[in-house]
Structures are given as C-alpha cells and as structure tokens.
Structure 1
Amino acid sequence: MSITNLKELFIHDLSDVYSAERQITKALPKMARAATDPKLVEAFKSHLEETQGQIERLDQVVESSDELRIKRMKCHAMEGLVEEAQELIDSVEKGEVLDAGLIGAAQKVEHYEIATYGTLAALAKKLGYTKAAKLLEATLQEEKNADIKLTAIAESESTSASKTR
C-alpha cells in the first residue's frame, strides 16, 4: 500500500486502530477470566464496555466526513500484543504473578492506543476534520484514564499484583 499524503495516512491509521479495537474486544474477556484480583477483573470488564463504545465512536468519525472510508486490514501490532497476553495466560499459573503480567500486557495495549489516538487526533486537526478530532480526543482521554487505572491497581497494597514487585 502506497501512502502519499496525510489523508491517506489518516485513513490507514484509522483502519488500523479499528482492527486493533475489534481484536481487543475478543482479548479482554479472556484476560478478565484469567485474572484473579477482583479490581483487575472489573477493570477488564469495564474496559470492554468502553472499547465497544470506542468502536462506535470510530464509526462516528467515519460518518463525520464523506471522504472517510475504513479499509479492511489487520492491525499486526495489536495481534502481537494480544498473542503475548495469551501466551501469559497459557503459561503462567492463575494468581498474583499472572495478574501482574496481565496488567503489563494491558498497559502495553493502552500505550499503543495512546500513541495511535494521539496521532489520529493531530492528523484530524491538521486535515480540518474538526468533529473527528473531538471524537478521537475523547477516546485518547479514555485510553489515558485506563492506563492510570491499571497503574493504580498494580500499585495498590490490597492488590496481589503489587506484592510481586
């Protein structure tokens, strides 16, 4: 695929994150089932709901301009991050060590999304897609909040994941 301008880059990145979010909706329930810490289980469940809303928001981004169409593609970066989480689930016994690993895996996902949504929001502004930029910034803030929540769970004294550090 040849990308020759900012609009094409924007559409590519938008299509990529759409795939990433769809992959996350399949991974989060598995992560919630594998986690033992109640706060972590709840964080994964609530982020699943949030992610479904983010997919709807991406649909709104596309609908905000007749020029935007999502392409069918697979986000290979997210595929790798999801595979890493699955490897943890498959190879680490349920408990505090797995919980700590799942927090790390989830934060890798959040950091990828923060970078992606930050770039998309900036590109949307530069391209004059004002409504799209606002929608993307809302998702960016949700991803930052999810990362903060995961850090708080990891650092909480009542959480078994904090005992592994």
Structure 2
Amino acid sequence: MATKTTENTNTAASASNSASTGAVSTADKKMKVDNASVDGDEMKNSSLHKFFVSSLKDIYFAENAIIEALEKMQQAATTEELKDAFEDHQLQTKKHVSRLEKVFKLIDESPEEKQCEAIKGIIKEGEEIIKSTQEGSMTRDAALIIAAQKVEHYEIATYGGLAQLAITMGHDKVADLLEKTLQEEEDTDYNLTEIAETFINFDAEQED
C-alpha cells in the first residue's frame, strides 16, 4: 500500500508539473506572438526592409525596360525559334511585372520604379550587338542569346536574393511569388541555352 501511495503521489506531482509546463508554454507562445507583432511594426523602419523595397523598385524598373528591349531583340533575330523565344519571354515578363505589383501590395508599399543602371547597361550592350552584327546572320542570333542570358542572370541573382530576404523577414507569400518568378527565369535561361546548342552556334561557326 505504501508503494501505491507513493505512485499516486508521483503521478499527481507529474500531472501538476505537466499543467505548470503547459501554462508556461502557452504564456511563452503569447509572448512570442506579441513580440512578432512588435517586430512587424518595427520592420518597416528597419534598414533591411528599406533595402528590400528599394531593390523591388529596381527590378520593377528592370522588368518594364526588358519588355521594350525584348521587342527590339525579337525584330532583330534571324531564326523563328529565337523570335518565338523572345516573344514568349516578353509575355512572361509582363506577368512578372504584375506579380511584382502584388508583392508591393502585400508589404503595403506602392509600386514604383527606381532607375536600374545595371539593366540599362546590359540592354545597351544588346543594342550594340544588333548594330555590330549582320542582319539575317546566325552570328547575330548567337550574340543575341548571350545578351538575353546576361539579362536572365541579372534577374536570377536579384530574385534569388530577394526571395531569401522575404523569408528572413517572414513575408512568406511574397517569398512564394518571388520564387515562382525565379524558377521561370531559370527555365528561360535553360531554354535559350538549348536553342543555341541545338543549331544556332554551329551554323554561326560556319559563317564567314
């Protein structure tokens, strides 16, 4: 009987400890939620948030500039395959612009453009390629692919970095949108490589 009494006492103590632990756990959770709310309010004033918004404005400008650049590249391309690829990417880029506008809305910011000197330089280089290569040549197509991939790599680096920052700041829905665009940019880069390696580079090599 003494043993049974001890067991009951231990059981009661254990239950008491569990209840106590549960109460502490609930309090901890509430405190965490309260802190998260405070952190969220402070986030908009943080240096990281300001950098994030500035970078979104940068890529927003870039995407709009790319739409116009792709129109010129499509007209300058020689092969139908590359023309179609540029047309498809132009349509996709318009979706990326709309997606960025959703991102701005999710973080309570207005969609604004900020001059992106990097993309302006890359686009200018593409325009120089059109001027310096022969119209109707495969060499021009090979060069245009490289120019387009430079654009893609800039976008891949930007969206990849912004998606990680969104995760860090707890903007999960924003991160999902940015990662979706990132995947599409990577797919476009891969498709351009395939077009080049299938025949364009080889045909360009045969030209005088």
Normalised to the residue count of structure 2, the TM-score between the two structures is 0.74
Q: Distance in 1 between matches of 2:202 and 2:155?
A: 24
**In 2, are the aligned partners of 1:84 and 1:105 still within 8 Å (CA)?**
yes
Q: Distance in 1 between matches of 2:107 and 2:51?
A: 16
Shift of 1:38: 1.2
Give the equivalent residue in structure 1 for 2:106.
64
**In 1, are the aligned partners of 2:78 and 2:141 still within 8 Å (CA)?**
yes
Question: Which among 87, 90, 101 is matched to residue 48 of structure 1?
Answer: 90
Shift of 1:23: 0.5
Q: Distance in 2 between matches of 1:65 and 1:11?
A: 9
Shift of 1:146: 0.3
The amino acid of 1:96's aligned partner reads M
Unaligned runs of 5+ in 2: 1-45
Q: CA RMSD in A?
A: 1.5
Alignment of 1:64-143 (within 5 A): 64-66=106-108, 68-94=109-135, 95-143=137-185
Question: Which among 66, 83, 104 is matched to residue 24 of structure 1?
Answer: 66
Question: Which among 201, 205, 208 is matched to residue 161 of structure 1?
Answer: 201
Normalised to the residue count of structure 1, the TM-score between the two structures is 0.92
The amino acid of 1:26's aligned partner reads E
Give the equivalent residue in structure 1 for 2:57.
15
Calculate percent identity across the aligned residue pairs. 44
Shift of 1:71: 4.0
Give the equivalent residue in structure 1 for 2:192.
150
Higher relative contact order (CA 8 A, sep 6+): 1
Q: Which has the higher helix share?
A: 2
